[in-house]
Amino acid sequence: MLGLTDPGDNFIVAEDDDGAADSEPALPGQELVPFDPALPALHAYLGDCADLSDTYGACLEDGHECLLPVLSFTDLVVTPGCILPLLVCNSRAHWVLEQALSAAAPYTGLIAVVMKEECQTRQSGQRHVGCTACIKKLQRHDNGIWPATLKVLAEGCQRLEVVHPTTQLSWKVQICADAATPKLPREVQEGRAHWAVWAWRASDAWTLADDATQLFRELFPQVRVLRGDPAEVSYWMMRNIPLSAAKRQALLGAPTVVHRLRSICAILAAEAHGHLLCTVCRCQLGHNQDVLAVTHEGTGGLFVNSSGYVHDVVAIRHIEAEKVMLLGRPSQEHSWFPGYAWTIANCGACGSHLGWRFTALQQQLPRDFFGLRRQALTSIA
């Protein structure tokens, strides 16, 4: 058993060999080293990017309306705190980023990230909600072809509501209020107030965040839950529960932190003893207990491939050999997890693309794990 250096969770090598390993276990007397979960967050596969953290990153006031350049995705939901890697060379995304980079303060480096309307299951009257993202790292890769390829790391900042979508590069948006949640007065917490305990528990964000944390721990014992303000906990949960993009978009659109946490608690309660299934054929791939923490963000994160497609990846400790079909030889090129080579992994039953198997290049590292596309997974209670 091997441990991650931090946040202290277990990155466990599968004890039963499924026959497809490409690296051998450590030799007798050779010390195994834990995988450093800080490495994937660096997105080193993008190369050297200039750090713009001190240049950009202004927070806009709640309710503020402005025009922001927009990137829209079919199956990605960006939340505050989420790291979004981008590799763009197509004209529209390129111009969106260039427009953000050349904008005047306080909008410099800010983009709006939304899910395409046709991919949402919003009910009538529900708001079209997205998130601002601020460019933190940038590299212009000029390979002699116009436009130059832009490699970017952006960070989700604030929820936004689309006020006026257009076909142009910029949309009018309004920043949603997401202020820190105050704790209940001590007399209420200690039961000395006039309200019944059940009455305030159901509407107290801090209590709901604790409830969600407890439920998450029971379902995903390998993963340490972020501690923080209820809003931060709710966004972390959205990024780490294996949910479809449509469900995460619905959670992002919840009107308050309390509404979002209530929904998260209901989802987690329904997922008790849940299985992870292939979205296409619903064959069982594993259990919730197989979900691993391999990054500082938790169970996975967003990663961009060499063609510019952004994948939302969740790490799974083990999949039985007959349930997955590996294609080709392991490759180190553009690997999202330093020290690991990737092999395409398809569903053994229906052949749909599940994700990748990552195998250690060094004998001292935990031997392997799977990084599955969140869209390829569904679950049942």
* DSSP character at residue 380: E
Quick one: 150 or 278, whose CB is closer to Zn ion? 278
Minimum Å gap between C-beta 345 and Zn ion is 11
287 and 313 in contact (C-beta within 8 Å)? no
Angle at 167 between CA 177 and CA 58, to 5 degrees: 35
- How many Cα atoms within 13 Å fall on the side-chain side of residue 356? 23
281 binds Zn ion (CB under 5 A): yes
278 binds Zn ion (CB under 5 A): yes
32 binds Zn ion (CB under 5 A): no
Q: What is the distance between the alpha carbons of residues 106 and 230, in angstroms, rounded to a whole number?
A: 27
175 binds Zn ion (CB under 5 A): no
By CB under 5 A, which span of 124-132, 298-306, 324-332, 350-358 interacts with Zn ion? Answer: 350-358
320 binds Zn ion (CB under 5 A): no
Alpha-carbon dihedral sign for residues 114, 117, 122, 124: positive
350 binds Zn ion (CB under 5 A): yes
Minimum Å gap between C-beta 358 and Zn ion is 20
Quick one: 72 or 378, whose CB is closer to Zn ion? 378
319 binds Zn ion (CB under 5 A): no
SS3 percent helix, strand, coil of the chain, rounded to 5, is 25, 30, 45
Quick one: 205 or 276, whose CB is closer to Zn ion? 276
Quick one: 84 or 276, whose CB is closer to Zn ion? 276
Minimum Å gap between C-beta 374 and Zn ion is 15
Computed on alpha carbons and rounded to an integer, the radius of gyration of the chain in Å comes to 21
Q: What is the distance between the alpha carbons of residues 325 and 61, in angstroms, rounded to a whole number?
A: 49
42 binds Zn ion (CB under 5 A): no
Structure tokens, 314: 């969740």
325 binds Zn ion (CB under 5 A): no
By CB under 5 A, which span of 102-110, 114-122, 274-282, 285-293 interacts with Zn ion? Answer: 274-282
Residue 113 phi/psi, 5° resolution?
-115, 125
Please report, to the nearest 10 degrees, the dihedral formed by the alpha carbons of residues 244, 10, 80, 230 taken in order. Answer: 100
Q: What is the distance between the alpha carbons of residues 56 and 52, in angstroms, rounded to a whole number?
A: 6
Quick one: 284 or 364, whose CB is closer to Zn ion? 284
Q: Which residues contact 257 (CB under 8 A, 6 or more apart)?
A: 178, 181, 205, 230, 231, 234
The full DSSP string for 169-221 is SEEEEEEPP-PPPPPPPHHHHTT-SSS-HHHHHTT-HHHHHHHHHHHHHHH-T
Minimum Å gap between C-beta 282 and Zn ion is 7
From candidates 21, 42, 188, 280, binder to Zn ion by CB under 5 A: 280
349 binds Zn ion (CB under 5 A): yes
Q: How many positions of this chain bind Zn ion (CB under 5 A)?
A: 6
By CB under 5 A, which span of 17-25, 71-79, 114-122, 275-283 interacts with Zn ion? Answer: 275-283
Q: What is the distance between the alpha carbons of residues 148 and 142, in angstroms, rounded to a whole number?
A: 5
Quick one: 231 or 285, whose CB is closer to Zn ion? 285
Quick one: 232 or 290, whose CB is closer to Zn ion? 290
Quick one: 52 or 347, whose CB is closer to Zn ion? 347
Quick one: 39 or 350, whose CB is closer to Zn ion? 350
By CB under 5 A, which span of 67-75, 220-228, 250-258, 341-349 interacts with Zn ion? Answer: 341-349
Minimum Å gap between C-beta 353 and Zn ion is 10
Which residues form the interface with Zn ion (CB under 5 A)? 278, 280-281, 347, 349-350
